[in-house]
Amino acid sequence: MTPGDLVDVPGKQTELALRNPRLPHITQGFIELRLLVSRLVQDSHNRLQGMIGLLAEGGRSDGDKKARIIEHMLERRKQFIKLLVLTMWAKNAPAVSEVIDLKVFLDTRQEIFHKVVWNLYEVRRKMSYARIPNPDLDTAVRVLSTGRANTAMTRRYVPPKKLTSRETLKILRDLNTLLSLRLALHEKLPPYFRDYTIASGRATFTVADEFEADLCIGDGDPTSQLYLVDFRFIFKPSAKTLPAGRIRDEVESRGNIILKQKGLEGIYDYLHEFVMTDKICTLFRQFQMMLSGRWTENLVVDMRKRTLVVQYWSGRVTEGATKSWIEVGIKRGTGGRPSHVGVRWIRDGKTVQDQEVPLDVAVLSAESLIKTVIAMHTKHILTLIRGRLAHSPVFPLSAMVLTTHPTDSFNSSLKLQLTPSRPIKFLIEPITGRFALHPPTMVSTQVELSMNNSPTGTEDLIIRLKFILTQEEVETRARSMGWEVLKMLNIRREELKGFFPNSTKYISYLRRKGWGKEWVVAMVLADTGQTWWVAKVHEAPSQWSMSMALEIPVHGEANATYSFLGNLEKMSSAMITLFVNQSMLVEKGVQHKLQPSKVADPKLVIPDLYIRFSSLIHANWGIDVLRLTFQGLGAEGKCIVTVLGRTKEPMTQLGSTNISAADSDVSFHPQSGSYAIRFNINVGESVIEPLIEKLHRIERLIRFVAVIRRFNLPCLDVSLGRIAFTYDTESNSSAEVSFSGDREMKLHLPPRSPHIRIKGFLEHKLNVSGLETVVMALTVTLPLLLAFEKIEAAIGDKSDGHIFVLSRSVDWFRVYYRRLGVVLDWQLQCRKSVLHWFVRDAVSSNSESEGEIVGGEGRRKADELKGIWSGEVEGDWEPLKSGAAARLREVGALAWKIHELIYAGQGAMP
């Protein structure tokens, strides 16, 4: 009411005007319609995107996808219908707001009415105690007649006198003495009540980790009842004392009744059971609080009488899977021990008998209890997985490290070395029980999802992850080292069963650059382990096919490190080389066999190929065993193959000549007769044909050196393809023979060699009769040819005609003095078992045939030489009437003497 409410009108009576109160306007909780529409649209868009992403995942049927779409549409339809209703109500927003204001006002008034009624009821209830009691006539008569009142009645009105400190202390000491005597002499203490103290007129009994109880006596009679004075919990968390109220009154009254009926044994049992029940209830309350935190939806807590049942990892249980839980209850005492709060563990639907779950009864912690159980379960799972993986050849024990923690499963893990560079930790999330792989990758995330959807096949999924990562790492490292990864090489699995294990999961085909396209290395990942193979493939019109596969022996770890891939290239190249050469020997029918290498590398087990020498080249100059060994890889990935052999006799005839030069592929040891042939070939090539050719060259070399030594000629140079020697030291005349397997041999002479005029004949002799004949020819023709050179050098260009020497064979020369018309024939013949050079006048021997030769008209008899023919001209030769004969050493003197006589007869000497 305001001053304006009182209206004073002149001449009229004053009136009081009452106006309706203004209703409070309510705006709290109001949301603008446009904001509601915007949020609903955004939420619909987000849910639509989520549904599209969910449908894009594989493994869902078309029916499931359609059901998801219909469910989404129905749910959105409901929301938009609600929005439509709100929109229609929004058209009458002012009227609706007024109705809301009125409703709030009426509710407020109704609450005020209820409070008034309740206050009146409370006043009536409290006034019932404000009555004056009826007069006590009996007490009044007794006081008036005797002058004193009843003591019991007096205490109700007259307070007793306060005790002094001395009196209080004396009473307490008396009580302590009485309690000590009674407990020591008259009471039978239970075994669990032996720990007690007496002080302040009460006996305090302590039960470890449970409670303390204060007992007192009412009088000095040993048979009188003991009274429960106080009771305290001594475990945590708990109240220090029972709060005043119904529970405390119940415990004290019930305890005193039990003390009267059953004594100390009964009060212990009662309080012990009460404390154990309270402990279980405390754990129950703690679990209930955990449900409102991070453990929500992962624990199922249920209280069944005095047994607390807690199921953990509830979100991990899938269809058909077993559950795991714990039961916290009271276990019966055994072996003199009282009953106690204990835990029974049911793991995967089976009670665990061989493990006891530790429970700290002094400090109760539901979270510590469930963490301890989960840590034990985690250890069990990790140990089980490790044991199963250890039985698989895929995972050696050295590749698995198990780490466990007794109370925190987050610190428990199984570390797996999947590849040399990719270790991974297998973890179990403590709260949800879901498997986790760390560090996460795209592949491990998919495997982790599969593990959590089906926890029974965990070991197979881990092996699958190892195979995938191994394949990926091997291919990556192989590419960096120059290998080709053949992704397009697909061979039917039915065909592969004849070569690889039946449990093969993954195959990677690799080929080294420089190899033929028919050779590949296959990495096979199977349940039996990781194996490596050398395979020969062929490209068919429709697809590839495999004709051969050899397993590569791998010793030690098969991790695809760079060192391992390097050794793999050596091993595979060696196996291909040995297989190709072995196939060639089989084709040729040559006896052979493979045996372990004498010089074994622990990382490379490469056998040696032993070949029967006589079966290969059908010769008998060498020991009947050849050993073919793989020596490694050279430049550009070529194979270095060495063939070792030994001759039947030492090759001391070679002397100290350096046969194995730096660029040579053959080495000799003359004293032992051993030799080594080195080949540098591409992978997949055979050395059998080149080996046969080189063995023939060695055979020739041995023969040639023997010839040179037989003639005591110094060797200038000896190699597998040529031999150079000096056949006359005085004139420093040398020759060189080159040879290559079964090809024709070549004779090489210095440009100023006297034998250059008969090189063709000598080379023919070399290929027909051998080096021995050529050496002999060089030796016997040298004096005569030197004489011819001397004569040609003496004539020079001073005369108008030149001497012409015609070589008709190695042992027949014709000397034609063109200007003088003299023709002489020099022939090598044997006279009395001694070689002689015979010289004859060609015209005297056959004048008719010489005259018929074109250009032979001017030829005449050499009359100037009659003195030699007849013996008038003496010398180291023998006259033969129409010729003369001289030994090898004297033939030069004879030729020069004839030359002098021919020119002297013409009156001129050059």
Instruction: Kindly report which listed range (323-337, 575-589, 869-883) carries the lowest average pLDDT score.
Output: 869-883
Measured CA to CA in angstroms, residue 736 lies from 360, 561, 633, 728 at distances of 102, 53, 35, 13
From the DSSP assignment, how many helices (H) and strands (E) are in the chain? 20, 36
Q: What are phi and psi of 345, to 5 degrees?
A: -110, 125
pLDDT at 334: 80
Which of the four pLDDT bands, split at 50, 70 and 90, describes residue 342?
very high
Which of the four pLDDT bands, split at 50, 70 and 90, describes residue 254?
very high
Identify whether the C-beta of residue 850 lies closer than 8 Å to the C-beta of residue 860: no
pLDDT at 742: 63
Residue 724: beta bridge partners?
Answer: 717, 736
DSSP state of 863: G
DSSP state of 186: I
Give domain status of residue 658, yes or no: no
Mean pLDDT of the 703-727 span: 80
Write the pLDDT tens digit of every residue in 411-458: 999 999 888 888 899 999 999 888 999 888 888 888 888 888 876 788
Q: CA 346 to CA 689: how far, in whole Å?
A: 76
**Average pLDDT along the chain:** 83
pLDDT at 257: 92
pLDDT at 95: 85
For the cut 80, the answer to whether the pLDDT of residue 12 exceeds it is no
Which tokens hold the place of 113?
A: 């009415």
Query: Cis omega (within 30 of 0) on the bond before 751?
Result: no
Mean pLDDT of the 856-870 span: 76
pLDDT at 320: 58
Which tokens hold the place of 368?
A: 């510590």
Residue ranges making up the domain that contains 232: 165-271
Cα of 266 vs its chain's centroid, Å = 68
Residue 307: beta bridge partners?
Answer: 304
Cα of 896 vs its chain's centroid, Å = 90
DSSP state of 486: -
Identify whether the C-beta of residue 811 lies closer than 8 Å to the C-beta of residue 782: no
pLDDT at 78: 93
Q: What type of residue sits at position 286?
A: Q
Mean pLDDT of the 672-685 span: 87
Instruction: Kindly report which listed range (600-604, 666-670, 853-857, 884-888) carries the lowest average pLDDT score.
Output: 853-857
Give domain status of residue 835, yes or no: yes
Query: Where a domain ends, among 271, 289, 322?
Result: 271
Q: What are phi and psi of 193, to 5 degrees?
A: -110, 25
For the cut 60, the answer to whether the pLDDT of residue 232 exceeds it is yes
Radius of gyration of the chain (CA): 62
Query: Where a domain ends, among 219, 240, 271?
Result: 271
Which of the four pLDDT bands, split at 50, 70 and 90, describes residue 904?
confident
Write the pLDDT tens digit of every residue in 152-182: 666 666 677 888 899 889 988 988 899 998 8
Q: CA torsion, points 489, 491, 493, 499, in degrees to nearest 10?
A: -100
Which tokens hold the place of 287?
A: 């679990």
Residue with the larger pLDDT of the pair 672 and 208: 208
pLDDT at 662: 36
Which tokens hold the place of 551?
A: 């397993």
Residue with the larger pLDDT of the pair 695 and 139: 695
pLDDT at 289: 92
Give domain status of residue 826, yes or no: yes
Write the pLDDT tens digit of every residue in 65-120: 888 899 999 999 999 999 998 888 888 888 888 888 888 889 998 999 999 999 99
Instruction: Kindly report which listed range (216-230, 248-262, 702-716, 723-737) carries the lowest average pLDDT score.
Output: 702-716
Measured CA to CA in angstroms, residue 464 lies from 418, 448, 486 at distances of 10, 12, 21
HEC profile for 415-431? EEEEECCEEEEEEECCC
Instruction: Kindly report which listed range (409-413, 669-673, 774-778) carries the lowest average pLDDT score.
Output: 669-673
**Which of 601, 524, 511 lies closest to 555 in space, CA to CA?**
601
For the cut 60, the answer to whether the pLDDT of residue 502 exceeds it is yes
Helix (H) or strand (E) holding 311: strand 307-312
pLDDT cut 90: percent of the chain above it: 18
Q: CA 642 to CA 654: how far, in whole Å?
A: 22
Q: For residue 786, count other CB atoms closer than 10 A to its CB.
A: 19
pLDDT at 184: 87
Q: CA 351 to CA 35: how far, in whole Å?
A: 56
Identify whether the C-beta of residue 879 lies closer than 8 Å to the C-beta of residue 898: no
pLDDT at 602: 62
Query: Cis omega (within 30 of 0) on the bond before 714?
Result: no
Give domain status of residue 897, yes or no: yes
**Which of 805, 817, 785 lies closest to 900 in space, CA to CA?**
817
Which stretches within 589-649 are classed as H helix?
A: 613-617
Which of the four pLDDT bands, split at 50, 70 and 90, describes residue 287?
very high
For the cut 80, the answer to whether the pLDDT of residue 341 exceeds it is yes
For CA atoms 644, 647, 648, 649, give the dihedral sign. negative
**Which of 613, 621, 683, 600 lies closest to 644 in space, CA to CA?**
613
Residue with the larger pLDDT of the pair 848 and 350: 350
Give domain status of residue 140, yes or no: no
pLDDT at 660: 47
Cα of 671 vs its chain's centroid, Å = 52
- Total domains in the chain come to 2
Residue written as tokens 């191994």? 470
pLDDT at 1: 41
Give domain status of residue 197, yes or no: yes
Which of the four pLDDT bands, split at 50, 70 and 90, describes residue 307?
very high
Which of the four pLDDT bands, split at 50, 70 and 90, describes residue 857?
low
Which of the four pLDDT bands, split at 50, 70 and 90, describes residue 875?
confident
Which tokens hold the place of 493?
A: 């699995």
Give domain status of residue 210, yes or no: yes
Identify whether the C-beta of residue 747 lies closer than 8 Å to the C-beta of residue 770: no
Q: CA 639 to CA 629: how far, in whole Å?
A: 11
Q: CA 65 to CA 618: how far, in whole Å?
A: 80
Long-range contacts of 432-437, Cβ-Cβ distance < 8 Å, separation of 24 or more: 432/298, 432/313, 432/315, 432/316, 433/298, 433/312, 433/313, 433/315, 433/316, 433/374, 434/315, 434/316, 437/465
Write the pLDDT tens digit of every residue in 621-663: 888 889 999 888 887 788 889 999 988 877 665 554 445 443 4
Query: Where a domain ends, among 253, 271, 289?
Result: 271
For the cut 90, the answer to whether the pLDDT of residue 376 exceeds it is yes
Q: CA 440 to CA 540: how far, in whole Å?
A: 42
Identify whether the C-beta of residue 582 lies closer than 8 Å to the C-beta of residue 592: yes
Which of the four pLDDT bands, split at 50, 70 and 90, describes residue 517?
confident
Give domain status of residue 206, yes or no: yes
Q: CA 145 to CA 836: how far, in whole Å?
A: 196
For the cut 70, the answer to whether the pLDDT of residue 800 exceeds it is no
